[in-house]
Amino acid sequence: MILILDCGSSKTPFIESMVDEFCDFTTIPILDFEETSLSNVNGVIISGAPLLITEQDISPYLAKLKWLKTIHMPTLGICFGHQLIGITFGAFGQKMRKDRDLQVIEAFEDSLLLDKLPTEFEMIEDHCETISIPQHFKLVASSDACVNEVMEHQTLPIYGVQFHPEVSGNYGRIIFDNFIKIALNQPKID
């Protein structure tokens, strides 16, 4: 079972559709999330949001992710979710040029999340902010538009992607398949 934390993205139904191809899921608004929601789930996906980390108070969202530092649940953050994960672990956000199109992503580190993808692949972007690489994370992939396109924790199954795999066709589907395999192969928290 995958738990989707919905941050208010119009793309969340596409995440649900992708995950539904591989396993069961449940979706809850992130601000309704309680740590007890983690029982009997194998992994968590944090959606994008129509919010800007540099202009709005995101502390209510960050408060809902404190568990990331103590509960080693496989987690994938998408766009705003990626940024929340980074900030939770000490990254800082900044404005960048708007990117609302296909972007060529170049992977230069091996990652289970990108298994079966070519070294360069296209994904749909929809953001105007970026984050630095937080401590204990490694940078996995970049694009000409954004340095931190894919990051992963050095020792924990925590991943972030700045782009939107849920609306990026077959390559996006591969990312969801890879993440779900990672999640299903981890011991479940009861």
Q: Kindly list the catalytic residues.
A: 79, 164, 166
Its sign, for the CA torsion 69, 54, 3, 164, is: negative
Phi then psi dihedrals of residue 114, to 5 deg: -105, 15
State the SS3 of the chain: CEEEEECCCCCHHHHHHHHHCCCCEEEEEHHHCCHHHHCCCCEEEECCCCCCCCCCCCHHHHHCCHHHHCCCCCEEEECHHHHHHHHHCCCCEEEEEEECCEEEEEECCCCHHHCCCCCEEEEECCEEEEECCCCCEEEEEECCCCCCCEEEECCCCEEEECCEHHHCHHHHHHHHHHHHHHHHCCCCCC
Tell me the CB-side half-sphere exposure of residue 62, using CA atoms within 13 A.
13
